[in-house]
């Protein structure tokens, strides 16, 4: 297995032919297939009274739904499927690297190369996930603004039945005006704190400061949205990449100590062999500890990714006054 | 160039970041524990907000980790 020029692409010999394989993509595909198989198997025999795996998945969904409702009220229910799929995908991506698998010793680089590394150790994958999150909270915020503009300005509109009544909640923002007004409202929320700041100023001060503040806050609001992509990308990538590197280092050390122990034993140096053997065992023990930690960290990172996506959506769809 | 200084930079960038992040996360967790102790019913709400806050604090450390990985990749063999 040679490392190609492009990051993540490796050449693998399959039946005598060298094939370029984009490892993160392949492992992502494996991850998604596992999820699809689980769901497909479960769909065949769903029960009203859930048992086993179905019960587990329903618990996960109910838990995320509870979070969504606590973040954005009853309207949060519609965004749960998106956040839950992001959560499950990231979770399985993080966890698939924890499965003990085949490691290959690369003599030139003096290190181990795992065959199965989590796709999230590639910044490309986490950037893609962050872009999905970004597109969804921008798109859903815009769609929500258009939707509220289509609702009648007065009354709760019984056309939608109970659901619409429920979704209005306690803090109904500005409604009505048609889609055009809705789009304008969406654009106007990029100048957000300026109107209220402008009200507190008087005279010449207002004419000088308001344009300056306008430029500043439009810039800040746009940077804020873009910084979200960056922070989502690097949080997931850094955590999983760091943990993966620790794992690889421990494994490499364990391998090196084991080899040294064997060579010492063959040379007849019993003390050295025992010492290196003990070091090997310590390294394997640390590896076990790191794997346990990795299970927890993988879960927490997936949760944080989904929760942040949810809270960005909540911020985007919230009714501003 | 001076390889030793680069090693120092790699170690210091993540070390200083971990110091600050550790203090920050410790404060956050301590306050959250206090809040749960005072009002155990608010546990769920405190927990999810805490994890969100910890994620933001931790991302600072992660940026430093990325920087130190970039630096360690640049050290000439």
Q: Is the per-residue pLDDT at A224 higher than 60?
A: yes
Residue A71 tokens, joined: 């973040």
Of A66, A231, A241, the CB nearest to B59: A231
CA distance to partner chain B, nearest, from residue A163 (Å)? 26
pLDDT of residue A174: 67
At residue B15 the predicted structure's pLDDT band, cuts being 50, 70 and 90, is very high
Segment A13-36 shows an average pLDDT of 79
Q: Which region among A145-154, A273-282, B39-48 has the lowest average model confidence (pLDDT)?
A: A145-154
Of A66, A234, A304, the CB nearest to B63: A234
B42 lies within 8 A of chain A by CB? no
Average pLDDT of every residue of chain A: 80
Q: Kindly write down the DSSP assignment for every residue of A225-286, as one continuous string.
A: HHHHHHHHHHHHHHHHHHHHHHHHHHHHHHHHHHHHHHHHHHHT-HHHHHHHHHHHHHHHHH
CA distance to partner chain A, nearest, from residue B55 (Å)? 7
Which positions in chain B touch A231 (Cβ < 8 Å)?
A: 56, 59
Q: Which region among A133-137, A172-176, A297-301 has the lowest average model confidence (pLDDT)?
A: A172-176
DSSP bridge partners of A18: A13
Q: Do B55 and A307 touch (CB under 8 A)?
A: yes
Please list, residue by residue across A219-252, b when 16 or more beta carbons sit within 10 angstroms of its beta carbon and e when fewer do. Answer: eeeeeeeeebeebbbbbbbbbbbbbbeebbbbbb
Of B44, B55, B65, the CB nearest to A308: B55
Segment B4-16 shows an average pLDDT of 91
- ipTM strictly over 0.85? no
Q: Is the per-residue pLDDT at A49 higher than 60?
A: yes
pLDDT of residue A1: 37
pLDDT of residue A159: 45
A302 lies within 8 A of chain B by CB? no
At residue A205 the predicted structure's pLDDT band, cuts being 50, 70 and 90, is confident
Q: Do B62 and A311 touch (CB under 8 A)?
A: no
pLDDT of residue A167: 45
Q: Is the per-residue pLDDT at A126 higher than 50?
A: yes
Cα–Cα distance, A250 to A240 (Å, whole number): 15
Residue A161 region, left (φ>0) first, then alpha (ψ -120 to 50), else beta?
Answer: left
Segment A296-311 shows an average pLDDT of 90
pLDDT of residue A321: 43
CA distance to partner chain A, nearest, from residue B2 (Å)? 23
Q: Is the per-residue pLDDT at B65 higher than 50?
A: yes
Q: Is the per-residue pLDDT at A134 higher than 90?
A: yes
pLDDT of residue B37: 94
Helices (H), chain A: 23-44, 52-72, 80-96, 123-150, 162-168, 178-188, 193-199, 203-267, 270-317
Q: Do B69 and A241 touch (CB under 8 A)?
A: yes
At residue B20 the predicted structure's pLDDT band, cuts being 50, 70 and 90, is very high
At residue A164 the predicted structure's pLDDT band, cuts being 50, 70 and 90, is very low
B58 lies within 8 A of chain A by CB? yes
> Each residue of A89-125: pLDDT tens digit?
999 999 988 877 666 666 665 556 666 778 888 888 8
pLDDT of residue A271: 85
Pair A241, A121: CB distance under 8 Å: yes
Residue linked to tokens 């995908």: A89
pLDDT of residue A9: 66
Highest mean pLDDT among A215-229, A245-259, B11-25, B33-47: B11-25
> Each residue of A54-81: pLDDT tens digit?
888 888 899 999 888 888 888 888 899 9
Q: Do A238 and B51 touch (CB under 8 A)?
A: no
């Amino acid at each position: 297995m040679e490392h190609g020029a492009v990051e993540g692409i490796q050449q693998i010999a399959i039946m005598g032919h060298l094939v370029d394989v984009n490892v993160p993509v392949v492992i992502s595909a494996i991850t998604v297939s596992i999820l699809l198989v689980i769901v497909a198997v479960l769909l065949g025999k769903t029960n009203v009274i859930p048992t086993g795996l179905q019960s587990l998945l329903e618990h996960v969904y109910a838990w995320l739904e509870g979070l969504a409702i606590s973040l954005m009220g009853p309207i949060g229910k519609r965004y749960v499927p998106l956040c839950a799929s992001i959560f499950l995908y990231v979770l399985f991506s993080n966890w698939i690297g924890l499965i003990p698998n085949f490691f290959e010793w690369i003599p030139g680089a003096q290190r181990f190369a795992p065959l199965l590394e989590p796709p999230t150790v590639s910044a490309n994958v986490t950037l893609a996930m962050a872009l999905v999150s970004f597109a969804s909270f921008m798109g859903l915020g815009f769609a929500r603004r258009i939707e509220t503009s289509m609702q009648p300005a007065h009354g709760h509109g019984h056309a939608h039945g109970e659901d619409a009544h429920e979704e209005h909640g306690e803090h109904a923002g500005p409604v009505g005006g048609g889609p055009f007004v809705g789009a304008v409202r969406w654009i106007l929320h990029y100048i957000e704190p300026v109107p209220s700041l402008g009200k507190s100023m008087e005279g010449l001060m207002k004419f000088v400061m308001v344009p300056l503040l306008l430029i500043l806050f439009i810039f800040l609001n746009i940077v804020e949205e873009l910084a979200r992509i960056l922070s989502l990308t690097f949080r997931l990538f850094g955590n999983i990449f760091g943990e993966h590197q620790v794992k690889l280092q421990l494994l490499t050390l364990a391998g090196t100590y084991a080899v040294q122990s064997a060579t010492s034993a063959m040379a007849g140096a019993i003390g050295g062999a025992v010492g290196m053997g003990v070091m090997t065992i310590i390294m394997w023990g640390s590896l076990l500890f790191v794997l346990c930690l990795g299970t927890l960290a993988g879960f927490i990172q997936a949760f944080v990714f989904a929760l942040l996506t949810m809270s960005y959506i909540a911020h985007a769809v919230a009714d501003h006054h | 160039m001076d390889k030793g200084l680069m090693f120092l930079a790699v170690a210091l960038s993540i070390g200083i970041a971990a110091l600050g992040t550790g203090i920050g996360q410790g404060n956050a967790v301590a306050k959250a524990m206090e809040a749960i102790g005072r009002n155990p019913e608010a546990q769920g709400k405190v927990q999810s907000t805490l994890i969100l806050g910890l994620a933001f604090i931790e991302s600072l450390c992660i940026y430093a980790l990325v920087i130190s990985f970039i630096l360690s990749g640049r050290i000439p063999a």
